[in-house]
A and B are shown apart, each in its own frame.
Chain A
Amino acid sequence: MKSNTKTFEVRDLTKVYNIGGGLSRSKVVAVNRASFTLGDRGPEIFTLAGESGSGKTTLARIALGLVEPTSGNIQYDGKEIAYIKGRKQRMAFMREVQPIFQNPFETFNPLKKVYTYLYETGLNYNMAAGKSEMDQVIEDALVAVGLSLEEISGKYPHEFSGGQLQRSSIARALITNPSTLIADEPVSMVDASMRMSIVNLFRELKEKRDVSVMYITHDLATAYYASDRISIMLRGNIVEMGSVEEILDDPLHPYTRLLLESVPEPDTDQKWEKEIALSTFEEVEYAQIGCKFAGRCPHVMETCRKKAPRDIYVDGRLVNCYLYMKK
């Protein structure tokens, strides 16, 4: 097997959306100067975590080349890919970086057999010459996700369970033998009991096929279980980034702490007693000057509402908070 490790580098990526028109025009900075590198130290699982509406999906869509950024660069294997125009270049990029979407029931056309999808993907990327050769490619991809050609042939999407269908969707992504998967909330529509099978699969793909995964989620429990590094997003800003053990065992940013405290523990001795402050209007938080978390932060100070904090490094991890500026 070829050595799959290639770096995926995001530098100062910004996306601004204009909302409304005429007199009531406003701007939302959906992603604000995001920078990170994926796979520079070999294949890894990199988690992007945050609440809904924190810009995770926008970032994923830009990384997949589906949305053009307002400014900033993305380099894949040394090549600029954020502003690809030609079809040939795009196909070459898409062969290497494949998406997995949130809801497997919406990913597949209900009137098409699942096999057709896999076959057409292979055809589009010229993965094999004849049908029997193509079936071999498909079988390989299916075996990698714990399914087989026999199990899926002749079946329509509604005949699968959510977990099986999501695994088929991962098999589809594997047909081109990509080096990177971008998975946007791949387990949130899958049953809790089936979640682990998907997350285990990512771990397996990393170890056996050298595939890097960008795992986008709001569930820190599966993120801890599966990933090597994590970055926490808050209303477009990356507020904390580093190795998953470091950050989740000892979170520094108050927002990371809030996310962590919100994971429901499957333990009756650890029920939530304390009440937390909740966001009401997303637009207000996006328009907030200074730190976007100021409205909900238990440690809020004067300066937080005036100017956005700088990125600083504490013990090798990035934190974006005034609490650690003096250290």
Chain B
Amino acid sequence: MAVIDVRELTAHYILGLYGRKKEISAVDNVSFGINKNEILGIAGESGCGKTTLIKVLFGMVKLPLIVLGGSVTYNFGNSSIDLLSSEASDADSIGWQDVSYIPQGSMSVLNPVRRIESTFRDFIETNLPPEEKDEYERLVKDQLFILGLPFEVLKSYPHQLSGGMRQRVIIALATVLKPRVIFADEPSSALDVVAQRGVIQLLKKIQREQQNIMVLVSHDMGIHANLTDRVAIMYAGNIVEEARTKDIFKGALHPYTKYLIGSLPKVGDKLYKASVPGPPPPLANPPKGCRFHPRCPHALDICRGDPPMFVDAGDGHKVACSFVAKEMGL
């Protein structure tokens, strides 16, 4: 059974603008499961709902974001917690020991006038029961040692560290309590390639060490190829393809995924590469039927009618595309 089970999740931002209602369908009818000890990647262009999806999975649903339907269930051991149920006690029982979140642009969240050490102490003291507080120093030292970060950083102020180093400190902080699930939202996209590699190798190490579930959001397919076990491709609030990372890179089915992978530049290759034609659709008023059809070179008449079914094309490779379904006879 999947540890995190997402069923038909729909979450919209509902805004009242000068008496006019505006509804942005950021996550629309999304279903998937995340298994034990797995790194799941969520890919897609900016504004396709990746961050909103992660926020709902993490239980951070605040107005104007409203969950309109579906469920998110955490299956930890014997207990099963429905995150979105109305009983607040259920969701509150999930703490930072269980689930951790590394938000986007998090390298600028450190308090500039406090040493890294104090930030670590604050975090641990508020999240551990009082009798374990003495463990603080041992916990931090262990964490830094395992992750290969120098101890000097504890005595530093954030401005003394480079961007990549700050990001690695944040990741160390977010995982010091060995959470069972880690959500990482674009953990490396503001960094240069070398610092990015540092962050990726750190995340790999943590996952190997702590054997937890990791959900990684990134628009960079190179990161997904390097780190994830399975990838879900998001387009305009829908998941359009989901498969093992290897299968996505070797045999993508959805036309959008093909564009995403085909347009990646490579060192040693100067052949002309085209990017996806046209702009992404406005989520306030998405196209009817398949949301990709205005940009799709294979669009059929049925694509303009009903949204395509999310079908299994064999071996757990799922795709939502009427054209592919017709070609493959699904």
Contacts and interface: CB of A to CB of B under 8 A. Distances in A.
A283 B159 CA distance: 11
A276 interface: yes
Contact of A224 (B156, B164, B264, B268): B268
Contacts of A282: 162
A280 B150 contact: yes
Contacts, number: 158
Contacts of B198: 276, 278
A263 B225 contact: no
B266 interface: yes
B35 interface: no
A167 B280 CA distance: 15
Contacts of A268: 225, 245-246, 249-250
A16 to B, nearest CB: 20
A162 B279 CA distance: 9
A218 interface: yes
Contacts of A266: 221-222, 225, 249, 261, 264, 266
Contacts of B227: 271
Q: Interface size for chain B: under 10, 10 to 19, 20 to 34, or 35 or more residues? A: 35 or more
Contact of B272 (A163, A200, A262): A200
Contacts of A192: 45, 219-221, 260, 263-264
A195, A199, A280, most chain B CB atoms within 10 A: A280
Nearest to A191: B45
Given A161-B280, A196-B263, A264 B196 contact: yes
B267 A224 contact: yes
A276 B201 contact: yes
Contacts of B193: 51, 218-220, 259, 262-264
Interface residues of A, number: 49
A272 B205 CA distance: 12
Contacts of A197: 275
A163 B276 CA distance: 11
A278 to B, nearest CB: 4
A52 B195 CA distance: 9
A263 B46 contact: no
B137 to A, nearest CB: 21
B266 A283 contact: no
A77 to B, nearest CB: 30
A196 B259 CA distance: 11
Interface in B99-154: 148, 150, 152-153
B288 interface: no
A248 interface: yes
A193 B45 contact: yes
A202 to B, nearest CB: 12
Contacts of B279: 160-161, 163-164
A246 B200 CA distance: 29
Given A52-B191, A200-B272, A281-B162, A225 B265 contact: yes
Interface of B: 45-47, 148, 150, 152-153, 156, 160-165, 168, 191-198, 200-201, 219-223, 225-227, 245-246, 249-250, 259-261, 263-270, 272-276, 279-280
14 contacts: A51-B193, A164-B279, A193-B276, A196-B273, A224-B265, A225-B273, A262-B194, A262-B197, A264-B222, A264-B225, A266-B249, A267-B225, A275-B148, A275-B201
